Structure 1
Amino acid sequence: ADIYVNPLDDDELYTLGVRMARSINGGKSFAIIQGLVQHIQPSPAQTLHLDHCELWINPTNPDHIAVGNDGGLYVSYDKGDNWLHHNNIPAGEFYDITLDNQKPYNIYGGVQDDATVYGPAKEWDASRTDQWKYLWIDPWSGGDGCVTEVDPNDPNTVYFSRQHGDGLRKDMAADTSKTIGPSRTKISKENKLRYNFVSPYIISPHNSKTLYHGSNHVLKSTDRGENWNIISNDITKSIDPNKISWAAGAVAESVLEEGLLFTGTDHGSFWVSKNGGKSWQENSKGLPIAYIRSIQPSRFNASRIYLAMTGINYDDLNNYLFTSDDLGKTWQSITANLPNDPANVIIEDPVFENILYAGCYRGVYISINRGKTWQMLGKNLPAVSVADLAIQERENDLVIGTHGRGIYYLNLNPIHQAYQLSTNDKNIYHLFKIPDAQYPKQVDTNREVDKSTITLLPISFWTPTKSRVTMLIKDINNEELIWEKNIIAKKGLNQFRWDLVTKTEHSNLPYFVDYKKYIQPGAYTFYLKTPQKIIQQNFIIKEWGY
């Protein structure tokens, strides 16, 4: 535990550990600090979170303290009798994310000691009320949320897990959860099953009632977790003595062939079953001694697999990405020109066979040639460890779960459109399809809009060289100029995200409200003036419909 001393009274000490304690007699006795907690954003958490890491004491006013723990930042002005929880800071440490198919779709994620949360895929704004909710939370205002899965045929059924294989099934409508294990079940105890802290499990892509779970064996349930059966040998007993493992790190099933199963362990042992688990073959030769974090069976070739492995658990910070076209009999490294940082996840684009996305220790990378070369995806993602990636196929959104900076997402349509340009096409300017936008909700009693309902409009285009371009919007019927802006476009794919504001008025008068005029619902034409030509696209601003 860390110890902090009041700079104005050396008899007053604070100690940090699982709990936070204070002494006013130089350490002869201590009392636990709890206090009443208020939150900036709505939260069901009722207590001061556990696992305290850092403390600050105001050197001129020691009543004013701030503590950082696994629940975030808490500030008190009365030495901990009352706390303000600054839970408006996007700093979630996600282990795993999953997406449902609702409209709009929801993102679910297991968070380090902050339970499991879920919410709509909408851009975060600190000024808005947070729409995210806890799927569950423990009595100490946290708990480790691990893997989450949503039944693709019934979004009311959500599976989530806590550490070491503690799985539950939740009925969202009834707001009730049932423990389904398998770690708490008889089969686990009788067979002395072992689980990693974040134990992998999946819903079969062929039958949403079938679940697979990884321990030192692979387990299967065909009734939504009510009953489990062991369907593998002990996968931790590798033929390579250096790869003797504790438990599974990843489990996957091919979307092309039902019963084509894959699992990998925390020391690099890889196994495949072609018959639903009746028999297994180890194909670990050529893989390093590292934790298999991610297995991606290809949706274009049943024999093709991608692996992301990390050695960070063993102080090995190298990058390990592999592919195989023969179910793992032979492996080929696709690290290529990636920075030598640990890799956590690799996924395949659902539309284009040659496009891959990799989540690594300091960002997301894209390859358009199946791993021969890589480049960083985007420029505004912080240099943070990317724990998981998922694609919402209906919306074509790539969602990124980071371990320290929350969740990000981007739409892949511009990337797909740019990918399809030929070499010659890349020498000219292109304006890609502009999605329809939504007019924000208007406040009932005045001309202002509800700022929480503003959604930025992405405008994407390709430029063969760095150049000045002009963007204009005109009414499609009378060609009245609505909006104009000049920017310097970089070479390649560009995206300008417009806030729909056509005019802004400011005044120093005492009762003047700074006013923004937004483009009205209707049909419009967007023009891109380039040094070569003028390109145009029609788009629609829809009425507020919620």
Structure 2
Amino acid sequence: MSAAPIASAQSSGKQSAAPDDERYIHLKIPRPNRAAHTSQTQGQPERDNANARHLWLTQRMAGLGGPEYVRHVLREADKQRALNLGAGNAATPAKPASNWLSVGPTKDNFIQNFYTLEENDSGRARTILVHPKNPDIVYFLTSGGGLWKTSNFSSPHPQWTATTDNLLTTSGGSVALGSNPDTIYLGLGDPFDSPNLVAGVMVKSTDGGNTWQPFVGLNANTIRDVKVDTSGPQDIVLVAADGGLFRSTDGGNSYNQVAGANPGDAFFGQELWSVVKTSAGWLASAQTLAFFGSGFFGLNGSGGIDGSLWLSTDQGATWNAIPNAGNTFTGAGRTTLAVAKAGDSVVYAFAADTFDQTQLDLFRSVDGGQNWTALGLAAKTPVNPNPDQPDLNVMHGQAFYNQMILVDSNDENRNTVYLGGNLSTVKSTDGGNTWTVITNWLAQFGLPYVHADCHAAALIRKGKQGTLLFGSDGGLFASTDGGAHWNSRKQEGIQTSLIYTLIGNPQTPSTTLIGLQDDGTRVRVGNTSIFNQTLGGDGFGTGWSQANNHSSLASFQFENIFYSTVNPPSDQNDWNQSSGLDPADANFATPIDTPAATADPSGLVFYTSSFSKIFKSTDGGVNFNLIGQQGVNFGHFPRAVLHTVGISPVDLNHLGVPGTGGNLIITTDGAATWTEYPLNSLVPGYASFNAGVAWANDNLLYAHSEAPIPGVIHVVKGVADGHGGYTFSAPANIGLPDVPVDKLQVDPRDSSGSTLYAATWIGVYRSTDGGNSWSQLGKGLPAVVVSDLYENGNTLRVSTYGRGVWEINIAR
């Protein structure tokens, strides 16, 4: 697939005033109100927590970013692409680049989360599209892995192709087909990871995704829905976004915001979620943004308060509030709209309550969405209730996040409706009067498996009942019998895992341990692309002894850490829960840091952190002990990032912790004493948002920042000053893109400590001169957020947030 460049390019100067990365530090993310946690192998399966994840991302990025920064990151990606397609970076001459190899996951043999299921998962779904003339062509848009396509969906094992790897971001928002079904209007920008991903742009293909035209930027960060009015000679494209509603009247070449720019306008101060064409015109669901501090802020994920419905009778040019007789549609928050076919008079609206705390109701209209009847789900019980779904509140406490609705177009009366939410999906065949639970997130109670947290649905109209397609946090699921049975294997080959961290082990070099968003902790099977899940929930940190194969560690949210001495861990019974941590101080982020073999020849030492504390284990993760605390040993909080303890490869005395307010927290005596280095004042141009520390040796270290601000320094160097402290300065950083750096790795093969690898929001970069000059490493890695790095000899393996695991040969 050919690349689509960004439409414009501008440079930015350095920002002199350091931003406050402690802006939302007071928003300590609440731990779920559950009984003392027991291992999934002992008591209960583990769930993810979408609310906590969103608050963590908001806290981590301090609510910064915005459309201008999105555009800045895309310009940086475009600049880097031009350099690497042209003469390259003259500052860093390099030998011919190696190619990146995709490692997976492409499938799993089983997943374990208390129960063992022979099912398959991939990354989070955003939109499912079926070609109207060829039902074998299916498009699957994912939140972090871009748009995938198959032309043989009816095959037991469809062949999938990533169509957007050559774009400047793989963050998926929504997608629609034009009047010519080979024309694709793709909105980039996932609404649920927006503080950590970039997009808010539209892009168009006229050949089924083989090539793409230049990006068109919107005044938005995220795209929620894209629809096309095909009634005239020219496609009119409507885009629902966090910045309002946008409209194109020239087939997607340009977009204008529809009202919303000034007080009194329709959609002013509102985000848009859903758009459908009905018999009355175009219907849109909007939600008033919550105003917090100095800007709009996502209190519970979406950032919205009260929801409203609007109608346009002129193809989206102007909008008015619906008549809403009897004020029936009221008290809503985020709302997802659905019709069986464009232009239908029967419309359904699946709504969260105000502030998106929980599910409100399902509403039905028979006049194109002008007036509504509430179906009263709160007062109803499914005909087959179970402990996970005793009632019809399928959204549960994640109403901002998991909303799915599909109206069956094979039912002429439009009475067959499917709803999806947190743990279950349900079906009604009588217009919402009675309901049946048809799937369960763990295939319990005699129900088939569809992964938790549903987001998208579609219907292939072929055969007596057609094929139902549901999309969730676990990818794509298909049913050919109206939801009685489901197939999770149709998505094998889709590599869209949202990975936080990874680690390997020198004794088993092909094996990799990864922590994934809502897809648990997974272990690679040998030298394959198969990764099996042995822990559930939001898999987060990973650790593994480097001197031997003694212990591997894994975590999920809120300070839950597990260790295994059976390695690689191939079954959930291999895991045991660690002790000594402080649940009362737990944060969503639960990192794990592993020393190099040269620093820890025992293979028994690991580190982690909580909201205000640093912990160390010296027995392979069985027990953790407190070694540092904010307010006692140092003044600032450890930042809630992917790795919080940088460890010298020489010994365990030298540790570095990325602190808030731009402060680097260092000990040189094994945590007996700690010293804070205020990098913002020590290094002009550095601007907080510490993300990690990478040591070359006891006398040389590097710190890096994930500051989402143009023109600031993202990598600094610390050199021992001969008096027990360190002097910090910024290397030239020529060639390093001006984007956040999530992980920095010093190549242990270089005794000078000058060879570095940087995991950025747009790829991996290498420096061989201590950060003075950088060049993009290798060819073939999509422009995706790279979340972690692991080096073993001549192989560098990386995890990405949306495109799985990749590796490259770095033989010198």
Q: Give the TM-score, by structure 2 length.
A: 0.43
1:127-206 equivalent positions in 2, closer than 5 A: 130=530, 132-134=531-533, 136-138=534-536, 143-155=537-549, 157-172=551-566, 176-182=573-579, 185=580, 188-189=582-583, 192-203=584-595, 205-206=599-600
Distance, in Å, in 2 between the alignment partners of 1:108 and 1:2 is 32
Residues 35 and 82, structure 1, Cα contact 8 Å, conserved in 2: no
Residues 384 and 403, structure 1, Cα contact 8 Å, conserved in 2: yes
TM-superposed CA distance for 1:348, in Å, is: 1.4
Which shifted more, 302-311 or 245-254? 245-254
SS, match of residue 7 in structure 1: coil
1:211 is aligned to 606
Distance, in Å, in 2 between the alignment partners of 1:13 and 1:334 is 59
1:401 is aligned to 799
Distance, in Å, in 2 between the alignment partners of 1:238 and 1:333 is 27
1:347 aligns to 2:741 (yes or no): no
Which shifted more, 214-223 or 383-392? 214-223
Q: Percent identity?
A: 23
When you count strand as a share of all residues, which structure comes out higher? Answer: 1
Q: Which amino acid counterpart does residue 133 of structure 1 have in structure 2? A: N
Cα 1:100–1:245 shift into 2, 3 Å: closer
Q: Which amino acid counterpart does residue 357 of structure 1 have in structure 2? A: Y
Cα 1:279–1:375 shift into 2, 3 Å: same
TM-superposed CA distance for 1:334, in Å, is: 5.3
Residue of structure 1 aligned with 2:788, choices 363, 388, 398: 388
Summarize deviations over 1:503-537 as a string: whole Å, max 9, x none: xxxxxxxxxxxxxxxxxxxxxxxxxxxxxxxxxxx
TM-superposed CA distance for 1:335, in Å, is: 4.4
Number of paired residues? 383
1:450-469 equivalent positions in 2, closer than 5 A: none
Residues 259 and 276, structure 1, Cα contact 8 Å, conserved in 2: yes
2:758 is aligned to 358
Distance, in Å, in 1 between the alignment partners of 2:726 and 2:418 is 54
2:421 is aligned to 17
Cα 1:382–1:81 shift into 2, 3 Å: same
CA RMSD of aligned residues (A): 3.2
Distance, in Å, in 2 between the alignment partners of 1:208 and 1:231 is 19
Q: Which amino acid counterpart does residue 764 of structure 2 have in structure 1? A: V
2:480 is aligned to 77
Distance, in Å, in 1 between the alignment partners of 2:735 and 2:717 is 16
SS, match of residue 803 in structure 2: coil
2:626 is aligned to 230
1:296 aligns to 2:672 (yes or no): no
Summarize deviations over 1:299-352 as a string: whole Å, max 9, x none: 4xx23222232245xx88977222222465424265433333322111112223
TM-superposed CA distance for 1:366, in Å, is: 1.6
Distance, in Å, in 1 between the alignment partners of 2:616 and 2:730 is 30
Which shifted more, 196-205 or 356-365? 196-205
Residues 405 and 457, structure 2, Cα contact 8 Å, conserved in 1: no
Q: Which amino acid counterpart does residue 797 of structure 2 have in structure 1? A: V
Cα 1:309–1:32 shift into 2, 3 Å: farther
Q: Which amino acid counterpart does residue 404 of structure 1 have in structure 2? A: G
Distance, in Å, in 2 between the alignment partners of 1:188 and 1:208 is 24
Residues 756 and 771, structure 2, Cα contact 8 Å, conserved in 1: yes
Cα 1:118–1:236 shift into 2, 3 Å: farther
TM-superposed CA distance for 1:202, in Å, is: 2.7
Cα 1:260–1:211 shift into 2, 3 Å: same
SS, match of residue 278 in structure 1: coil
TM-superposed CA distance for 1:156, in Å, is: 5.1
Residues 741 and 760, structure 2, Cα contact 8 Å, conserved in 1: yes
Summarize deviations over 1:166-197 as a string: whole Å, max 9, x none: 11111326953454435xx4x515xx323342
Cα 1:89–1:226 shift into 2, 3 Å: same
Q: Give the TM-score, by structure 1 length.
A: 0.63
1:90 is aligned to 495
Residues 550 and 604, structure 2, Cα contact 8 Å, conserved in 1: no
Distance, in Å, in 1 between the alignment partners of 2:631 and 2:663 is 8
Q: Which amino acid counterpart does residue 696 of structure 2 have in structure 1? A: S
SS, match of residue 704 in structure 2: strand
Distance, in Å, in 2 between the alignment partners of 1:3 and 1:334 is 52
Q: Which amino acid counterpart does residue 399 of structure 1 have in structure 2? A: R
Cα 1:221–1:20 shift into 2, 3 Å: same
Residues 250 and 292, structure 1, Cα contact 8 Å, conserved in 2: no
2:649 is aligned to 255
Residues 638 and 659, structure 2, Cα contact 8 Å, conserved in 1: yes
1:48 is aligned to 450
SS, match of residue 582 in structure 2: helix
Cα 1:280–1:80 shift into 2, 3 Å: same
1:280 is aligned to 674
1:472-487 equivalent positions in 2, closer than 5 A: none
1:321-336 equivalent positions in 2, closer than 5 A: 321-326=715-720, 329-332=727-730, 335-336=733-734
1:412 aligns to 2:810 (yes or no): yes
Residues 550 and 620, structure 2, Cα contact 8 Å, conserved in 1: no
Q: Gapped runs of 5+ residues in structure 1? A: 39-45, 125-129, 417-546
SS, match of residue 495 in structure 2: coil
Distance, in Å, in 2 between the alignment partners of 1:262 and 1:310 is 16
2:469 is aligned to 66
TM-superposed CA distance for 1:145, in Å, is: 1.7
TM-superposed CA distance for 1:152, in Å, is: 2.9
SS, match of residue 486 in structure 2: strand
Residues 757 and 764, structure 2, Cα contact 8 Å, conserved in 1: yes
Which shifted more, 288-297 or 359-368? 288-297
TM-superposed CA distance for 1:253, in Å, is: 1.6
Residues 317 and 342, structure 1, Cα contact 8 Å, conserved in 2: no
Residues 525 and 532, structure 2, Cα contact 8 Å, conserved in 1: no
Residues 655 and 666, structure 2, Cα contact 8 Å, conserved in 1: yes
Residues 310 and 317, structure 1, Cα contact 8 Å, conserved in 2: no
SS, match of residue 500 in structure 2: strand
Cα 1:375–1:149 shift into 2, 3 Å: same
TM-superposed CA distance for 1:247, in Å, is: 4.7
